[in-house]
Structure 1
Amino acid sequence: MYHFILRRKLQNVFSRLNAGDYRFVTSQFHTDAEHWFAGSHAMSGRRITSGRREEWYRRLAAVFPGLKFDVRKLIVSGPPWHSLAAVEWVDELHDKKGNPLPNEGVFFITIRWGKVTEFHVYCDTAKIEKNLSILAAQGVVEAAASPIIG
């Protein structure tokens, strides 16, 4: 039953993420949770403070407005004090000219007593670097910014 409830909670979080409700998404993190994104680009890096996570989600909204995730697989396991979730996804995103900028990947999430303590993003880093370059060339300044870390 617990895994069913956790899956429903995560599905709700992704619905809110797709709606651009980043304040709700950041409220799901434990105070000192780790938020980490693979690669070397404007979205990459490791954040361990609430302020830095909030800054990252503001950047996500600025760089990728209208971003939508199609969750393909959602797997949860473990007890409430150490639950693990794996989320396989494909995203839907367009550049300023309306051209698609797709990517796909997996989120690995650790949850303790209902709060996210680790959130790791693994996607096709070559695609995201290409997409960020396209957006930067179209005038999205934050697409070429240094990673938010700390």
Structure 2
Amino acid sequence: MIYSYFVEKSIRQSFDDINNHRVDAAVKALVPHVRHRVSGVHALGGERHDKEAARRWFERLGRVLPNLQITVKHIWVKGWPWHTTVFAEWDGAGTLLNGTSYVNRGLHVFTLRWGRVHALEEFQDSQAAARGLAAQAAAGLEEAVAEQIVS
């Protein structure tokens, strides 16, 4: 279906935007009252209910894991333009400030309506994220252990 092709292309582009720290482009498709949830009790965990808080979260992601590169493995698109669910399986890797490798993997679940993101839930290895953030904080990056951005 041609619709699925364009949705997949858009989702891949959003991951590329995040990899390249283009936050404005990455959050452009979010509705003002988006629900963004990330598992884990760490600086990148929590739940946000508005676009501005989600923007701040993506900006923080770029600061606390500045060379994180997310590689999309598979994307599945289900539904119609008025209600679409997208699953994006990914691997993430980078180098922490102490020189060690950061590796994580996960699944994003997007809920789209007419091409706009109404919900984004991120499932990942939250313990790997917490360990990586703790290492960043130990190397002097205080924001890596800051309070969650919630709204």
Asked if these proteins are the same fold (TM beyond 0.5), I'd say: yes
Shift of 1:139: 0.7
Deviation at 1:36, TM superposition (A): 0.6
Q: Which runs of 5+ in 2 are unaligned?
A: none
Q: Match for residue 83 of structure 2?
A: 82
Distance 1:9 1:129 in 2: 29
1:1-150 matches, within 5 Å, as 1-150=2-151
Residue type of the alignment partner of 1:36: R
- TM-score (structure 2 length as normaliser): 0.95
Check the 8 A contact 1:20/1:66 in 2, yes or no: no
CA distance in structure 2 between the aligned counterparts of 1:96 and 1:128, rounded to whole angstroms: 14
CA distance in 2, matches of 1:130, 1:95: 11
SS at match of 1:71: strand
CA–CA distance in structure 2, aligned partners of residues 8 and 58 of structure 1: 23
Instruction: Kindly provide the amino acid, as one letter, of the partner of residue 88 in structure 2.
Output: V
Q: Greater strand share, 1 or 2?
A: 2
Deviations 1:71-96 (A, max 9, x none): 11111110001100111110011111
Once residues 52 and 34 of structure 1 are traced to their aligned partners in structure 2, the CA distance between those partners, rounded to angstroms, is 10
Q: How big is the alpha-carbon RMSD for the aligned residues of Structure 1 and Structure 2?
A: 0.9
Off by >4 Å, runs of 4+ in structure 1: none
Can you give the 5+ residue segments of structure 1 that lack an aligned partner in the other structure? none
**Corresponding pairs, count:** 150
Distance 1:140 1:35 in 2: 24
2: CA distance, partners of 1:101 / 1:41: 15
TM-score by length of 1: 0.96
Q: Percent identity?
A: 27
CA distance in 1, matches of 2:46, 2:106: 16
